[in-house]
Structures are given as structure tokens and as C-alpha cells.
Amino acid sequence: MDKQKELFSKVKTYFPGLNITNLNKAYNFGVKAHADQVRDSGGPFFSHPFEVATILAKMKLDEKSIITGLLHDVIEDTLATKSDIEKKFGSEVASLVDGVTKLSKISLQKSNKSEQVENFRKFILAISEDIRVLFVKLADRLHNMRTLEFLKDSKRKNKIANETLEIYVPLAERIGVNKIKEELEDLVFLELNPNVRSTIKRRISFLKTQGKNNIKLINQELNKALNRFNIKAEIVGREKNPFSIWKKMQKKNISFEQLSDVMAFKFIVNNVDECYVVLKAIHLTYPTVPGTFKDYISLPKQNGYKSIHTSIFGPAKQKIEVQIRTKEMNEIAELGAAAHWQYKSNLNVQEGRKYKWIRELVEIVETSSEPEEFLENTKLEMFKDQVFCFTPKGDLISLPEKSTPVDFAYAVHSELGDFCTGAKINGKILPLKTDLKNGDQVEIIISKFQKPSPDWMDSVRTPKAKSRIRKFIKTKEHTEYSNLGQKILKHFFSKNNKKFNEHYITDILSLFNFSRIEDIYFNVGKGNVDPMNIFYAIYPSLKKQKKTLNKKIIENQNKQKDNKDRIPLKGLLPGLAFTYSKCCYPLPGERIVGLLIKGHGVVVHTSDCNELGKKKYKDNKILDLSWDNKNVGLEDYVSRIRIVILNEPGNLGEIASAIGNNKGNIINLKLTSRQKTFFEMLVDVKVKNLRHISHIIAAIRSLESVSIVDRDKG
């Protein structure tokens, strides 16, 4: 009873409108519902929901959240139903308890990737509806981690710890509940790496014996520094937790012996002006550690966190971290989003989608399709560190570190990203792959003819940009493969002197387990379905005449002299329906054929490619292709040149100049042989067509230092 009164009194101190009767009713309901249940520790089961409610009270959450904490397991573990809770405590509490129950049933560590993704989707959508569900679940997970030692199943303990580190720690960080985040990290560390944790703690104890970690003495010295500037502050010193020290050691690649940065001091003042006065006093008194100053007051984190961070070589030349903030900022730093209730009574924090990062997670849920893609993007969204950039109008855009102008464009608006063709960074036109830095002003240049490029995937950092680009590529890919598949079938039927009719295709869909004709086209284009099998399914009697049929195909292909029946290459996205072979590097103007490869679609070769002669491909898998003259010239192609040159100073520069003067762009250079008098190299050059590479080769051939130059075809 004493603990019950203590809990209710705690809630009353920060929630004056508390209805004690409702809290008592919830307490008694929970005790009765869990009466016959015990925990792994041997204690009564209700001790768990009570501790969860106590954690929520320390976070200063509202009355309904506390009631939810007391009742969060009753639907899952007792005979009570959502309807029972709604009758006694109202629809809002019933909805919260039901939300937490649903989260508890979601396993985020499934071995099956698809199942794990689906569960994570449900998890994100659940917390997006009411952020208090996440608060209760974090409190639930924290108490479970505190009592993890009583769980006998070691594999399950390991699984819970890993899930906590991968999911709940970043979520706690995202909503700014720093105290819970740090305790979860430490408990995970204790479970997964107890030896490393104890080693770090011993190192901290050793530093204490050397007189380097005397927090009381350092506190006194820091106060003296403030007194010289007539400023007062509450100074709180503490040792960093082992896990945060371990993370820093990993990031900086330092050993235990090099470990010295183990203390942090908070300066808590009355207002923002005093924050900067304290900063001045500290920086004028002690040397600063370069590169450690961060002003989160002028540029707050997405979760509302505000503070000034710096590191100094303090008293006794000990390196210490310093954080300077007001009392309100400190509350928000420790309690996160929940603390806003105390300062902004009109803030509706119940809806998770009020938070930008949750909205972005929900958008990823709606646009991602592949399991690996979804998990990668959501983890990126939860873990990212930030840089802050500005639009030309002065709007602030926060992005992950090493983001590019493409990330910036998608962060401003999805369509801006789709049509992004260039960027001005601080007034200067720079490549789209440029890493953005804090304070950059970014102006996006757009074109209605621009489309997202697959090349962007190698440089973008934000999940939103990645998912939008992937979605575009997949849509484009499906269209291209479907169109290609239809052309391949028409081409194949024509070669066999049979009329192509979609009705025939529709009649055989069930034989291939497809429901739509587009599925047939896509899989033929992708190489998953052999067009010969489609043909035989429609004309089964011709299967017996296979040898004769193949002979006719070969004869028809040999007779073909022009482009009339060839399949034209279309689409400007590399690696989709058509992939250009890297053995012969085909160029517009050359005679080309296509090799239909299962799962990859058509690989384009020159008709005289050496590789085709080495391997025995089935005749029906080789397609006659032609260049799409409408699109030729709109993209660059790669051609490989083999050059043998005299080994003299300046000769390599002449090669580069010859290529550059003819508007070629070197993208790769490899020395294959080096002798005293000459060396041989392969140069990959971006060109427009066969004529373009011919001009470049002619220019190189005219150089006196060059003995051999020709195109390399494998």
C-alpha cells in the first residue's frame, strides 16, 4: 500500500488534475486480473505492470498513460477484454492498452525476413497512431531488461537484448527519453558484452585512483571559473555509462589504455542568454578540444533536444564533455517528448504523426517493397546523425550526415527530388554527389525532362530518397521488362511464321501460374520464362518438330539484313530491360544482338563479340536488336580502349588531353603491363556512339608516343 500511495503522490505532483479514484480502480483491477500469476523471478506478476507505471510516472506522463501502464498486460495475459477495459476506463484507455498489446505480440527478431518486415510495419503504424503507446512499451521493455537475469532461456535473453539494442534504444533516442535510452544500453551491454563492460568499469576505477576523476574537485574548479564572470549555474558532474564510452572507443579506434574522456558535466541555468555567458566563461578559462562544439539551441535536434555541447581540457588537464542548458531544456533532454506537456499545454503529442521522423517512417512503410530495403531504410531513419542546411528562403532542412543535394531535394518535396537535375551550394554549382555540410544553403535546379537516376542510389543517404528512387526504378523496370517481353514474343512468333495473338497468351496463363498477361510479358522480358515454352504451350504439336523449327529460326536470322524485324533498344536507365555487356562494350552504330539471361533480361553484345563464340548459347535465346535512333545521343556509353605507349614522362598526359579534347570522359584506367620501354593500359571512356570513339582513337593514334590503340572486346 505504501508503494501505491507513493506512486499516486508522485503523479499528483506534476499532474494536478489527477483522478485518484481512477488510478485506484485501475490498480485494483490489475491486481485482481493477475492474482494467480507469477513472474520468472518468483514474485507476483502485477509487480511488473506496477513498475512500468512507476517508470511512466518518472517520465511525468499523463493519467491515462499511468493507467495503461497498470493494465498493459491484462488483455494479453488474463481473461479481461478490450470491451471490459472500455466499460470501466473509457475508450481512450482501452485503445492505448490494446495498442500496447498488439505491440507485445509483434516479434521483431523473426528469422524469416518477410515476416520480420511485416511485423515491423505493424509496429511503426501502431506507434504512429498514439505516441503514448511507444512510451508504455519502452517502460515495459526497460523493466523486462532490468529483470532479464531471472529468465533461464539464454537464447531468448540474447534475442531480447539484441532486439532492444536494434529497435528500442534508437526509438528511445528518437523521442528524446535519454535516461531510458542510456539505461537500456547499459543493460544490453551487461547481457551481451559483460567482460568488456567490466573492463571499462575497472579502467574508470583506475583513473579515479590516479586522481583524474575527482568529480567533486572538478565541480569546485568549474564554479570558480563561473564566479569570475558573475554567473551562477547548477553544475552536475557524472561518469559516462560504459556503453557510451565503448561506442566512442569503437568510433575513434582507441584502446582501453588511451581511454581518458569519461566524464560529462551539465551546467543548468535560468535562461538562454545565460547559456552563452557560461559558454564564454568556460572557453576563456580552459582550452577547448577542436571540433567538439555543437549548438543545439539555435539548431535543435528533431526530437526537440536543445543544449550547447563542447569539450574542454579542464582542471588537471582532464578532458571532459560540457553541456549547457536551461532547466526546461534539461527536462526535455531527460524526458523527451513527454516533457513538452509541462511547457506547451496546447501541444497534441498523442498523435505519433506529429513527429516528422515517424511520418517519414510511415512513408517508408508505404513505398518500400523489398524486406532488405525496408529494414535498411527504417534503421537508417532511426540511427542517423544530422546536418542542418537551408533553402534559399531560409527554411531549415535537417538531414543525415553525408547527405547530398538529392537527399535535400527529396526532403523539401518528393517532386523536387524527382525532377532534380543540379544544385547550387552556397551559390556555386556543384555535383549532385557532393556531401552537404552544416549551414550550407542549397538551391535545387530542376527540369521537367529529368527522372530519378539509378546512379543516385550510390550517394543518397536518406530513407525517403532511397525509397522514392527505388520505387521509380521498379516501376520503370516492370514497364521496360513487360514491353520487352511482348516484343520478344512477337519477334519469336514472327520468326516461326506464326501470327501473334494476345488471346492465345491469355488462354495459357494458368499453365504458367500467372493471372495476367502482363506477368507473362514481364517474366519473358526478365528471362524467367523461355519464349519457346510459351510458343509450344500454344502450338504443342510443333514441339515434336523442334529440330526442324530451330533450323528455320537460324535460317531466318541469317537471312535478316536490315533492322525491320529487330527489337529496338529503348529506355535510358542502365541495368533495367537491357544491360550492356562489359566484354565488348557495344556502341550505337554497331551491329548488336541480345542474349536472354534468366533473371537479368537481355544482355546486349556486339554481333562479333568474342565472348559469344566461346560459349554455346541456345539459338532461341539470341535476339536480333537495333539501336533506338530516337534515344541515341541522349545518354553516354562506356567503351574500352587498349593502348600501348612509350614509357616516357608526359605521355600519359597526352593521352588524357587527346581524349578530353574530343569530348570523351575517362572513368577508369588500368595498367595491364609495364616494361622499361613501354606500358600497356586499358582505358574506359564515356562516349556517345561508334563515330565518337572512332574520332578519339584516331586522335590517340596520331600521337608519336603511341604504338598500338584499338577497342578492347574481351
Alpha-carbon distance of 352 to 128, in angstroms, equals 4
Q: What's the alpha-carbon Rg for the chain, to the nearest Å?
A: 33
Q: Which residue has the cell 529460326?
A: 553
| Partners of residue 259 on adjacent β-strands | none
Nearest to 453 by CA among 409, 483, 518, 398: 409
Q: Is 76 a catalytic residue?
A: yes
SS3 593: strand
Alpha-carbon distance of 339 to 177, in angstroms, equals 9
Alpha-carbon distance of 39 to 468, in angstroms, equals 46
Nearest to 63 by CA among 33, 28, 113, 27: 27
User: Can you read off the three cell numbers belonging to residue 646?
Assistant: 612509350
Phi first, then psi: give them for residue 637, nearest 5 degrees.
Answer: -120, 155
Nearest to 465 by CA among 375, 368, 393: 368
Alpha-helical segments (H) within 318-370: 327-335, 340-343, 356-367
Alpha-helical segments (H) within 59-153: 63-71, 74-77, 82-89, 91-104, 113-129, 131-146
Q: Which residue has the cell 595491364?
A: 672
Q: Is 331 a catalytic residue?
A: no
All residues at 6 or more sequence positions from 14 whose CB lies less than 8 Å from its CB, including other chains: 60, 342
> Which one of the listed residues 6, 36, 73, 76 is annotated catalytic?
76
Alpha-carbon distance of 399 to 436, in angstroms, equals 9
> Which one of the listed residues 6, 77, 480, 590 is annotated catalytic?
77
For residues 623 and 491, the answer to whether their CB atoms sit within 8 Å is: yes
Alpha-carbon distance of 463 to 687, in angstroms, equals 33
Backbone dihedral region for residue 538 (phi beyond 0: left; psi -120 to 50: alpha; all else: beta): alpha
| CA atoms within 13 Å, Cβ hemisphere of 202 | 8
Assign 3-class secondary structure to 393-418.
CCCEEEEECCCCHHHHHHHHCHHHHH
The two counts, helices (H) then strands (E), for the chain are 30, 19
Query: Count of residues for the chain?
Result: 714
User: Can you read off the three cell numbers belonging to residue 70?
Assistant: 497498470
Alpha-carbon distance of 9 to 15, in angstroms, equals 10
User: Can you read off the three cell numbers belonging to residue 506?
Assistant: 491469355
Q: Write the single-letter amino acid at 412.
A: V
All residues at 6 or more sequence positions from 584 whose CB lies less than 8 Å from its CB, including other chains: 605, 606, 608, 609, 610, 611, 713, 714
Catalytic residue numbers, as ranges: 76-77
